[in-house]
Amino acid sequence: MNGELAKTDIEGNAELFRVLGHETRLRLLLLLAAGEHAVGELDMVSGVGQPALSQQLAILRKAQLVTTRRVVKQVYYRVDPNALKRVASLLGVLADTAAAKVPATRTSGGERRPKAGSAASFARML
């Protein structure tokens, strides 16, 4: 995804971040990032409970963040790697844009660092 696409699909990108910003869905994505899981396994491991689990998995499917496959009556979920590339690309666009706008100063050793008081400076102190 290039910078132009990120700017033109604001609504879609906002929806993607809304989906990712939910604690239960993020927990499920982290579980699925480790590998494919059946719904029953996700129910046991996540502690979410069947009705809420089904609802959150449906939201992840609709956002195209996960894919499914069915084996008889069992449904398996896994993270869609293309969706993760889309998220990473969007975050890259944001990071590149933000980094380009941070004024920098030089340390006594000649190293560039953000000016004191900037958000980037604050983040580095942590």
Which domains occur in the chain, in start order?
A: 3-101 (1.10.10.10)
What is the C-alpha to C-alpha distance for residues 110 and 9, in angstroms, rounded to an integer? 40
On whether the CB atoms of residues 79 and 32 are closer than 8 A, the answer is yes
Q: What is the pLDDT of residues 101-124, one digit of tens each?
A: 666 565 666 666 655 555 555 555
Q: What is the pTM of this model?
A: 0.68
Strands 37-38 and 74-79: antiparallel
Residue type present at position 72: V
CA-nearest of 3, 6, 61, 1 to 28 is 61
For 72-86, how does the pLDDT look when each residue is reduced to its tens digit (9 = 90+)? 999 999 999 888 888
